[in-house]
Structure 1
């Protein structure tokens, strides 16, 4: 066997420690030359198998043709098959611990057959020539704490579609054409990052990619691994960051997948009280097993280092942290101290985040964590989990409950919009209006708003302006920027035809204007994690449902004063207290950016418990953004 391809004693040692961070370069299928013969080196971890062989198009799926040799005590099997070629399909044929015959896809495969097929495909991950060196170099200096992040969450299969055809039954865009269309749109709108759902290979479209069978394979729905890399590369060349949804919390029970991999629980816990999610019908990883931790951590590194992605949004973190998540009494096992914290998952997160962020400066790890677990974004050394950012689910729930209300009832729920500031600095947050909020009878963002259609649009503009000026990074799911009417479905493309109607086009332009000022004024992002960067002018104007606050720039120049009226009542006599006797320049209102900003001069007149103020006639659903 070629020296470089052998699963060596050192490989085995590191894999057994959970620290073989580039193990994907050995396990899986790798085209190589051995003894002057071209072929493919295969390796798989199946610790309790009786025997393993490779079956595929190169041997007519013959179960006995290419038996694998077990190397060392850890349970890795390997074989070199001369004549096997890039593009051919294969599986591992495993005789399990109890003699059962198992036909498994390769857990480390870099490409998979298009569903409903379940085989893996031989590919070469080393043959793509990257052109994003400038982006990668600049990324090392990126600091998410002080830079703007406006994230566009996208499901590639339903953003845009081609007409369906025999060759393309779902009308999917290829990664390359998707890259060109998406980059143009995202640049025009002004987002800084895209967050892509459902990239890792998964058998069922309706899972949106949250039940993964091929962790190391970009889904073949949209093309090859090279096509995928081209997409990341092209987005980088257009100065757009790429974040992927990543699902280390659970995996499906599909026969070709990780479940019961060699006839025993290899990747999951054997005891269903530890190894199954009753609600989701999926398996839970055994985070205490070094080789399983290694599989996941190396996978995160694979996407970041091999595929150049700029960060991972880690799905369902809460389900990993709590042993009793979604379980009734008797359905879970306490930890050694009798508690419900998953100590192994905590250790896993610290290890994961320290390694990924330590090796790749300027990348981000984002937790989707829905509870009040402390220090999710705290330093791993100081007993935090080590994430860069955390989704602010509390803000999202309060904000949407408030926005759904008839404006008359908002005065009784004023604190729903102010409460988030009481914990805004406990973590480093992303404000999110994600796909989860616009599916399964939850209505689109526009349809959540009260009133007739014109009122819905005015409410939504006010809502987005509040989100834009509130501390925290931003994430908005595709289609909500132009007022998609229907809920999202992965089966069809977004309703782009709505942009032929004036109110939808206006809303899209308004979001564009919000993103323009968000990126232009450091006051709106550089002090997100600094309590001195935010100050309420009036947090208690509940009777009128008006909110006013300032965002302060670290340089003290171009601070922002923000006012919003969440009722359909005009306030021609409105007056706002201000921090200083200065001139306040109106740069944006409910109609968008002003071509000619208007100046308002503060005078010595007490208002909002402040010495200085100025009058500003605030319209129904009025929005006013000033610089000073």
Structure 2
């Protein structure tokens, strides 16, 4: 095997940008790149290891011998080691053997910029390329029409390893998912899928949230090109793709980013800022320029190379606060004496600015569980710059309400109405996510009170209320057919349940709710604006009934929503409405097709000139038990 030759993909300008933390396409320079030098094919390797005394490439091509293929450090104090090794081909496994200046410590590390990794538990990086002929030109050219904030967002959250298994209980591949999953999502009508982290991770019970290969789709399900096929097929079906992205922490695995070159290279050197006690993982040093460039380059990489339409940023709250999960004395205030992590705030703003300035029609979504202000407001007005934020308060309050026996709900209607006081303070996404169906919380269906009929009526009512509520929507897999058991990442969803009417009915209801959401502009055009919502009556606690209007740009698109949160059938229930005319029914969660009781109003109802609820006109309804009914002027 030929020895290492001098070669570089870096220009002086690249190095200046890297040192300043402004190089957001580092994946084009660092890592392993198949190139041809003077007519000879091989691989150019480049790795950032400023505390190294020496760096060697070791792999199956040199029997993992340290020092046989040493890289050379650049002269410009960038800390980058590089070199060209002739003869290495795609598929070669490799690592970096790094001897540190710190007491001669030797580490053996996977490539932080590897495009592909060995299947865990193996830990080596694999020389690869990203050659692929994309077929989603139409989607990419019209993506803004699907992905803007005034478009419907109904997101199906998926853990690829446990959505469905084959007959032998093994994972479906990316290519198999490109058929089965795509067809299912299209059938049920979701507008987007959100994949729990698909970047390479060593430990299955982490669900993917402890990343090692930030630039590599996990090899559990196939090659990078196979994952591209999955994205391509989703786009062909008109479905957007959101990836969970984890810039908040990373594991201490020996081959990972931690203590990379014998120093705290990627993690903050102060354990009060550099270690996360909840997850026993390391925290990035957001104040270090090169680390910021690494993370922002990673975000850009997935959006650019994999045509991803959005990034949901995990655990933002843990990033924002210096005292997150820490007791007094375990954290240090910022320079102003506060608990906010100023480096993180600066980083998140820069990340969002870089994403939105580089791509049209993409979104970033923050999983942020506190009242930190202006998370989804532009940076130029002082916000963090995210497109949307998960509405964790809505999730908590709503599930707390629905878990109550219906006889007690009249005392707790404030659990539902309170969220409306701040629902437009951010661009909120309503999440019923994987976190709500694990660790003894029960499945969503399992939380519903009452006998079996009432449980499923409550579940359909919950989903109907969610889809009529302002904001984008997210539902974790299995919720759409009323999965009975908690989620188990080690197995498949309980697809056999769809043979039963109640479960099939929930699936039909979700499908119709998705269709309704996408077809009614009043449900999405102003979903983040107070102009898109108007109460009719939220004070009928005694009957546990709420009524409101969802409003679009055109008044003819407005719809009226009536929620009956008990199993008591309400005869001749009157509500005030905006104008005279006739109302037609759009949706009834109690319909027989959903395994409901089948109680309903006539298809057309006439408004009366009878003042009620502070309005000149009103109408009487039959309210089916535990139901959401939706109407529109004919």
Short-chain TM bin:
over 0.9
SS in 1 for 2:32: strand
Checking the alignment, whether the CA contact within 8 Å between 1:510 and 1:591 is kept in structure 2 is no
TM-score by length of 2: 0.96
Deviation at 1:112, TM superposition (A): 0.5
Deviation at 1:589, TM superposition (A): 1.1
SS in 1 for 2:261: coil
1:6-405 alignment, distance < 5 Å: 6-71=9-74, 72-96=76-100, 97-125=102-130, 127-142=131-146, 144-164=148-168, 171-405=170-404
Q: 1:299 to 1:575 in 2, by over 3 A?
A: same
Moved more, 310-319 or 78-87: 78-87
SS in 1 for 2:487: coil
Deviation at 1:590, TM superposition (A): 2.3
Counterpart residue number, 1:617: 622
Provide Cα deviations, 1:130-164, integer angstroms capped at 9, x if missing partner: 11111111114555221101000000110011133
SS in 2 for 1:173: coil
Work out the number of aligned pairs and report it: 622
Q: 1:2 to 1:563 in 2, by over 3 A?
A: farther
Runs of 5+ consecutive residues of structure 2 not aligned to the other structure: none
Are 2:605 and 1:600 aligned? yes
Runs of 4+ in structure 1 deviating by more than 6 angstroms, as ranges, are 1-4, 593-597
Checking the alignment, whether the CA contact within 8 Å between 2:6 and 2:84 is kept in structure 1 is no
Provide Cα deviations, 1:343-382, integer angstroms capped at 9, x if missing partner: 1111101110011111101000000000000000111111
Deviation at 1:531, TM superposition (A): 1.2
Q: Give the Cα–Cα distance (whole angstroms) in 2 for the partners of residues 191 and 312 of structure 1.
A: 17
SS in 2 for 1:574: strand
1:379-458 alignment, distance < 5 Å: 379-458=378-457
Q: 1:380 to 1:405 in 2, by over 3 A?
A: same
Provide Cα deviations, 1:65-90, integer angstroms capped at 9, x if missing partner: 10000012010000111111111110
Provide Cα deviations, 1:564-595, integer angstroms capped at 9, x if missing partner: 11111111131121111221111221245899
Checking the alignment, whether the CA contact within 8 Å between 1:55 and 1:92 is kept in structure 2 is yes
Q: Give the Cα–Cα distance (whole angstroms) in 2 for the partners of residues 2 and 358 of structure 1.
A: 38
Q: Give the Cα–Cα distance (whole angstroms) in 2 for the partners of residues 606 and 133 of structure 1.
A: 54
Checking the alignment, whether the CA contact within 8 Å between 1:587 and 1:597 is kept in structure 2 is no
Checking the alignment, whether the CA contact within 8 Å between 1:141 and 1:361 is kept in structure 2 is no
Moved more, 585-594 or 427-436: 585-594
1:512-527 alignment, distance < 5 Å: 512-527=511-526
Counterpart residue number, 2:576: 577
Deviation at 1:290, TM superposition (A): 0.6
Are 2:482 and 1:483 aligned? yes
SS in 2 for 1:607: coil
Deviation at 1:339, TM superposition (A): 0.9
1:498-577 alignment, distance < 5 Å: 498-577=497-576
Deviation at 1:3, TM superposition (A): 10
SS in 2 for 1:137: helix
SS in 2 for 1:339: coil
Q: Give the Cα–Cα distance (whole angstroms) in 2 for the partners of residues 383 and 427 of structure 1.
A: 13
Q: Give the Cα–Cα distance (whole angstroms) in 2 for the partners of residues 403 and 227 of structure 1.
A: 41
Q: Give the Cα–Cα distance (whole angstroms) in 1 for the partners of residues 10 and 31 of structure 2.
A: 11
Provide Cα deviations, 1:8-49, integer angstroms capped at 9, x if missing partner: 322211111111111101111011111221111100000101
Runs of 5+ consecutive residues of structure 1 not aligned to the other structure: 165-169
Q: Give the Cα–Cα distance (whole angstroms) in 1 for the partners of residues 624 and 470 of structure 2.
A: 25
Q: Give the Cα–Cα distance (whole angstroms) in 2 for the partners of residues 14 and 400 of structure 1.
A: 48
Moved more, 379-388 or 142-151: 142-151
Provide Cα deviations, 1:215-246, integer angstroms capped at 9, x if missing partner: 00000000011111111111111111000000
